[in-house]
Structure 1
Amino acid sequence: MELTHIKYFLEVARTEHVTQSAKNLCIVQPALTHAIHRLEDELGVKLFKTSGRNVKLTEAGDYFYKKVKPLYEDIEALPARLRAKSDKQAITVSVKVLAASSFVANAIILYKKQSPALRFYLVQKEESSLYDICVQTYSNYRPQENPDEETFVCSENIYLAVPNTAQYKKRDSISLHELGDTNFIGLYGSKQLHKICDDYCERIGFNSHVVFESDNALVVKDAIASGLGVGFWPEFSWGKVNNRKIRLLKITDAEFKRDIVITLRRVKQDNSHIEGFYKFLVGMLKRASRRQHQPVTAKER
């Protein structure tokens, strides 16, 4: 069996949708379907069955999934483990980043200045269970008790970022239904935030017209500032906006917010370096939240 085919199988099993899986894997759908069929032929069993527009694992497929998923994750983790093993003096912190990636990257850069020997291994795969610290987001987080984990939760509003033009200049809030076919601009790759915003929009019966996405938050800021469109903007975790060019408006249709959740896993004999970065990251998030909620002076306006 080829590792690529295993990877494709796991992705389809996760999404239960061939078209979406092909998009996530950046391959064409026929190539994905062919790979799955080759794997089924080699194993001699059907792994999926059709269920409406989706696919579901067969009994054999479910058994195969449970057996092969941990093996595949171990193989994927081998390069990082080998790199850590090759330098016994180096200490590696595995960080799973599913939200606030720019914020986490800045925190790592700052922390490495005081701990240059520390190595960071970043993971952005939602299904991966190999991490020391995980940063993710929910619309309404419900804590789960786990004696081996410590969790910090911080809530932030999701605003509508708009160009600071005459149309919006004197506005502090807005209903999305006022926007009509206004172009939306978003940050490509922030799947969890996309889902939260899509769910809120679906609840109020609004369909955002997305015309452009970038994997760079600065590009998104510049595009909104130049008047190319508007976009959903987390209150503080994406960094400051230029108040001269962009306004953040409160959305009145519903309570648009998200919870940023940072989880520390204590699974190693010595967790001191991991805990050190966890506390540093939590401290940065707390300070960013406090700054955002401080009263704005006349000079800052």
Structure 2
Amino acid sequence: MDLLSLRYFQTVARLENMTKAAEMLHVSQPAISKLIGNLEKELKIKLFDRTGKYIRLNEYGKRFLAKVDLALQTLEDGKTELLDMAERPTGTVVIFIQVGSYLLPDMITLFRQLYPEAQFKLLQHESHPINPVFDLSISSSPFRIPGTESIPVLTEEIMLAVPSDHRLANRESIHLSELSEDSFISLKPGKQLRETTDSLCRAAGFTPRIIYECDEPSMVRSLVRSGLGVSFIPAVTWGGSQGSSVVLISIEEPVSTRTIEISWYTNRYMTNVAHKFRAFIQDYFKQSERIKK
């Protein structure tokens, strides 16, 4: 059992298709079939159920794949660690973005001014697998991914954004219950901010009447600017000022804040460049909070 066999098995197991696996690996299909057959002979057990030309990973194969994934990832981490020890970091940071996407381009630009060789791979919340693989995740508490450790980097105020001609636009602060009859513009269910703001409304004694649901913060802001409703706006991670046609009001009751965290897997090696970027994020948010104050 060699590394090549394990890598080929991993590809076939994920695709469950010999032809596609052969194309991806740039080898012939008979060679792939022979290699998988030899692996099954060595293990003395079938890893796939075969029906005609179709294959499906069976329970034995699923168990073996989990171990192969772990073994190959451990070897890759070991290679990366040796490169770091030799002061030749790979330079790629995989970030799982759940909040703060508005600020991330600025963070990356400033970081690359310090470390021009740094590269980034960004994973969006909507398209992530059940167990996403990343170096760092930016999220809001109390969200947790099993096997990770987190540190808070920012507590930001969640403000109410209203059109400039709204009846409360001249107020510096309000009780959220005063908006119980208003039309709200919100992110779609499943977003961390949506869960937080729905909870705030429940604490204020009402269910928000949501007339528009959006995928992106930019669309939420645009709809408020158009005078179509009110919305919740995180003071730092959504970019502060929304333009002259929108007024931001503090919510006095209930207390409306959220905590932004950085998370990482405790059982995976973290590269030098990922360590540096984690420290950079912490400092970046400290500076953002000072500027806001």
Q: How does the TM-score come out when normalised to structure 2?
A: 0.62
1:137 to 2:108 alignment: no
RMSD (CA atoms): 4.1
1:186 to 2:186 alignment: yes
Aligned partners of 1:185 and 1:230 also within 8 Å: yes
Between the aligned partners of 1:91 and 1:202, the Cα distance in structure 2 is: 45
Between the aligned partners of 1:116 and 1:178, the Cα distance in structure 2 is: 50
The equivalent residue for 1:251 is 251
Give the Å deviation of 1:71.
7.6
Aligned partners of 1:132 and 1:274 also within 8 Å: yes
Between the aligned partners of 2:171 and 2:222, the Cα distance in structure 1 is: 20
The equivalent residue for 1:11 is none
The equivalent residue for 1:239 is 239
Aligned partners of 1:184 and 1:209 also within 8 Å: yes
The equivalent residue for 2:34 is none
Give the Å deviation of 1:289.
0.8
Write out aligned runs for 1:11-160 (5 A).
Answer: 90-123=90-123, 124=125, 125=128, 127-138=130-141, 151-160=151-160
Between the aligned partners of 1:184 and 1:72, the Cα distance in structure 2 is: 49
- Aligned residue for 2:108, secondary structure, equals helix
Superposed CA offset, 1:27-69 (max 9, x none)? xxxxxxxxxxxxxxx99xxxxxxxxxxxxxxxxxxx99x9599
Say how many residue pairs are matched: 225
Superposed CA offset, 1:132-170 (max 9, x none)? 11111026x89x9x9x95724321111111112252232
Between the aligned partners of 1:158 and 1:165, the Cα distance in structure 2 is: 21
The equivalent residue for 2:210 is 210
Aligned partners of 1:98 and 1:136 also within 8 Å: yes
Distance 1:2 1:189, change over 3 A: farther
Q: Which runs of 5+ in 2 are unaligned?
A: 1-11, 17-54, 81-87
Between the aligned partners of 1:69 and 1:91, the Cα distance in structure 2 is: 28
Task: Point out the more displaced range, 279-288 or 118-127.
Answer: 118-127
The equivalent residue for 1:200 is 200
Task: Point out the more displaced range, 202-211 or 272-281.
Answer: 202-211
Between the aligned partners of 2:292 and 2:103, the Cα distance in structure 1 is: 14
Between the aligned partners of 1:162 and 1:172, the Cα distance in structure 2 is: 12
Which entry has the higher C-alpha Rg, 1 or 2? 2
Between the aligned partners of 1:96 and 1:131, the Cα distance in structure 2 is: 6
Distance 1:126 1:240, change over 3 A: farther
Between the aligned partners of 1:189 and 1:71, the Cα distance in structure 2 is: 35
- Aligned residue for 1:233, secondary structure, equals strand
Distance 1:100 1:165, change over 3 A: same
Give the Å deviation of 1:111.
2.3
Identity of aligned residues (%): 25
The equivalent residue for 1:177 is 177
Q: Which amino acid aligns with 1:121?
A: K
The equivalent residue for 1:48 is none
Aligned partners of 1:187 and 1:220 also within 8 Å: yes
Aligned partners of 1:150 and 1:265 also within 8 Å: no
Distance 1:174 1:271, change over 3 A: same
Give the Å deviation of 1:93.
0.8
Between the aligned partners of 1:116 and 1:285, the Cα distance in structure 2 is: 21
Distance 1:263 1:270, change over 3 A: closer
Distance 1:70 1:287, change over 3 A: farther
Give the Å deviation of 1:106.
2.8
Q: Which amino acid aligns with 2:185?
A: I
Give the Å deviation of 1:114.
4.0
Give the Å deviation of 1:2.
9.1
Distance 1:276 1:266, change over 3 A: farther
Q: Which amino acid aligns with 1:245?
A: S
Distance 1:158 1:71, change over 3 A: farther
The equivalent residue for 1:226 is 226
Q: Which amino acid aligns with 1:128?
A: N
- Aligned residue for 1:102, secondary structure, equals coil
Aligned partners of 1:151 and 1:264 also within 8 Å: no
